[in-house]
Amino acid sequence: MKKTIILLFLTLFSVQSFAQKFGYIDSEFITSKMPEYKKAQDDMEKYSEKWVQDIQTRYAELEKMRQQYQQEEILLTADMKRERLKALEDKEKEVKELNNKVFGMNGLLFAKKKEIMKPIMDDIYKACSKVARQKQLMFIFDKASDMSMIYTDPRHDYTDYVMESLGISLKEDKTQNNQVTKPKN
C-alpha cells in the first residue's frame, strides 16, 4: 500500500512538473503607451504624406496630359495621336508602378514601417523574454495578433509586467485591457 501511494505521488508529481505555463500580452496596449511608438507613428505619417503627395502630383500631371490630348485631338495627325496615346499609356503605367512600389504589399511604406518598428518590437520581445523567465512561462501569446483568442483569463495577462520591464508607467486605468475577450459574431 505504501509503495502504491509513493508511486501515485511520483506519477502525479512528474505530470505536474511537465505542465507548461503560458500567458498573454496585449502588444497594441503596450505600444500605445510607448513614446517611441508614437514618434514612429508620426514618422510614418510624414513618409506616407510625402509619397501620397508625390503620387497625387503625378496623377494630376497625367490628367492634364489627357485633357490636353482631348483638346488637341482633332488637330493631330494619326502619327501624332499614336505618339500622344503612347505617352499617356507610359505615364499612366509609370504612376501605377510608383503607387505599387510605394504602397504595394512589399512596398517602400511597408519596408519603412518594418525598419522603424523593429527596435520597438525588439524591446517588447526582450521584455517578454525577461518576464517569461521571471514568471517561468513556456509561452507568451499576443492578444493583438492575428491569432484568435476566444477567451482570455485576466490572471494570465502579463501585459503589466512587460510594460514594467520596459519602464512604461501604469498610471492610467487598464480596465479595458483586463476584460474577458468575447467571441466575435
Give residue-wise pLDDT tens across range 117-132. 999 999 988 988 888 8
Give the pLDDT score at 138. 82
Give the pLDDT score at 19. 64
> When comparing pLDDT for 176 and 146, which is higher?
146
Mean pLDDT across the chain, nearest whole number?
A: 81
Give the pLDDT score at 136. 84
> When comparing pLDDT for 136 and 65, which is higher?
65
Give the pLDDT score at 6. 53
Residue 48 has pLDDT above 70, yes or no: yes
Residue 162 has pLDDT above 80, yes or no: yes
Q: Mean pLDDT across the stretch 93-97?
A: 95
Give the pLDDT score at 150. 46
Q: Mean pLDDT across the stretch 36-52?
A: 93
* Measured distance CA(14)–CA(64) in Å, rounded: 77
Give the pLDDT score at 54. 94
Q: Are 101 and 110 in contact (CB under 8 A)?
A: no
Instruction: Assign 40 a pLDDT band (cuts: 50, 70, 90).
Output: very high
